[in-house]
Structure 1
Amino acid sequence: MDALELRELAAACTDDLPGAELEHRSDPDWDLYKVGGKIFLMMTDLPGRPVVVVKAEPEHAEALRAQYADITPGYHMDKKHWITLEGGGTIGEKLVRELVTESYHLVVAGLPKRLVPVPEG
């Protein structure tokens, strides 16, 4: 999966997450996905390569960085709790979906009860 496909897939994963909202910042150029006002997914372009940044449990983040060449410490974030996903072929669609969803649930778990979104239906 190339970097643009990675970003498109990560963005599409947010469609089914209750309360997920997109905020675009132009200086610097970031797409921020939030729930309850807290970021769970970020996308930007590093020099020459688009990236996706998600939250992960520290032990899981460490294991993922060791296993996948295209997963590195979180760009511009706490390196223990955030990871950067890059296109390059070692990350598959299923893993991206799992990581975006996990990041969302980690952030929701830390929200005050009044801000936790209720699924529709």
Structure 2
Amino acid sequence: MSNGGPCYYSVPGLHKQASATEIRDAYLKLALKWHPDRCMKDPVVAEEAKWRFQQIQEAYSVLSDKEKKTIYDAGLLGLLGDDNDEEGYSLEDLQGLLMDMIADDQKIDFGLKWDASQSTMKRTRVI
């Protein structure tokens, strides 16, 4: 979940197994309904629209990105932080942390080779 906010699936009313098309369609429907430009005449509704539209945008930015969605579904999105959060970890940082946790002999069992000098993970075929 996002910084104590609502579940990204509940914002557009989706289930966890929703397809990319379902995610996009739900986003488009809600973005059109709650776009702040459509609700400017009533100040009370305009504030709610602004808040809801931000939630819709945030949920869609995670659910529409396959890597972010996988991280979110695993409950690790909070570790990445926001784009403006300098203390957040990148996906590469998380991969590095995972590889550091796996003992050298286990890395071979998974068919992974860790090159610490380049801070990248390379998949190699183990024969």
Question: Normalized against structure 1, the TM-score is what?
Answer: 0.27
Whose strand fraction is larger, Structure 1's or Structure 2's? 1
TM-score, length basis structure 2: 0.27
Could you say which structure has the larger radius of gyration? 2
Greater helix content = 2
